[in-house]
Amino acid sequence: MKKLLRAGVSMGLIAAMCAAPAFSANAADEAPSVYFTVNDKADGVETLKFGAVFVNTKENTSAIPCAVYIKDESKKAGQIFVKVTAEKSLKLSNLTGPNALYKGAPYKGFETDDSMNLNTFEDLNVLAVNYSKISSEKPMELNGEKSDSYPLACFDAKFDANAEGGSYNLKVYSEGAYFSGIIARNGDGTFKEYDPSENSKPLLINASDRKLGDINNDGKWDSVDVSGIMKEYSKISAGQDGIFDANQRAAADINGDGLVDSVDASNLLAYYAYLSGDGTSSLNDFVKNRK
């Protein structure tokens, strides 16, 4: 009985959280999706422990190289239409296929940038990439072991000079004529279409005018920053407005999980102790290596 009740609760939660009621749980498991990476060797760019990217807008003056990948466990993708967007002050440009930078594409038959369809819609800040072999009823043939052995496409993301601090998202765009779709082919003529904008996780980019964790922007990481995060967290968790501005909030998500909470405060406190003991790693490296 208990077990049944628990199952009932979790199913209810899943139904409430699921934005795509058209898919059953099983279908959602196999649904192909896309994901994004950034090259964190660019100045002022760091990939945080739980995947979000931190950008110090003071240190970052160049475009950030990015890539978009398809994750298709079933290996059934037969046609791929993906459109990528971000907030307008994070400008997307320089769309190319993956061949030059990554020495290959996810699928056979796409050895040049001309063979995939690449389009830039500047007004919308949207980039489009199509892998389309209309004549085939079969899935496309992979080049590597997995669908994400190579990216679908590469592009640059660059903050406008007047971009404000805060949370930005690289995500799939699918609106009207600018739709995104992945058609999975079963090899027998039947197929199923998925909208990757519904099941792909955006890449969170936290942009701040200060260094990660330096909440008061005094060039030091210490107890003042820790107590700032605790204050912010206690306000937010009490349902009140936070005290941080957007730059501070972006600098406070130290582990990159999209939340500013006590875990960030405890990471920062441990880092403060580590620095006091003459530690030399960056805050991000310290947090990533922390158990």
CB nearer Ca ion, residue 159 or residue 272: 272
Residue 257 lies near Ca ion (rule: CB under 5 A):
yes
Select the residue interacting with Ca ion from 220, 237, 281, 290 (CB under 5 A): 220
Select the residue interacting with Ca ion from 218, 223, 273, 281 (CB under 5 A): 218
Least CB distance to Ca ion at residue 123 (A): 34
CA–CA separation, 289 and 270 (whole Å):
12
Least CB distance to Ca ion at residue 230 (A): 13
Contact region with Ca ion (CB under 5 A), list: 35-43, 114-122, 247-255, 267-275: 247-255
Residue 255 lies near Ca ion (rule: CB under 5 A):
yes
Contact region with Ca ion (CB under 5 A), list: 62-70, 71-79, 98-106, 262-270: 262-270
**What is the x/- site pattern for Ca ion, positions 263-282, by CB under 5 A?**
-x------------------
Residue 216 lies near Ca ion (rule: CB under 5 A):
yes
Residue 248 lies near Ca ion (rule: CB under 5 A):
no
Residue 232 lies near Ca ion (rule: CB under 5 A):
no
Q: What are the two backbone dihedrals, phi and then psi, of residue 201, each rounded to the nearest 5 degrees?
A: -85, 125
Nearest in space to 31 (alpha carbons), one of 66, 77, 62: 77
Contact region with Ca ion (CB under 5 A), list: 10-18, 105-113, 227-235, 249-257: 249-257
Contact indicator for 78, 229 with CB cutoff of 8 Å: no
| Pairing label, strands 203-208, 53-56 | parallel
Contact region with Ca ion (CB under 5 A), list: 62-70, 155-163, 176-184, 255-263: 255-263
- Is residue 179 exposed (0-12), middle (13-18) or buried (19+ Cβ within 10 Å)? middle
Residue 113 lies near Ca ion (rule: CB under 5 A):
no
Residue numbers of the site for Ca ion (CB under 5 A)?
A: 214, 216, 218, 220, 225, 253, 255, 257, 259, 264
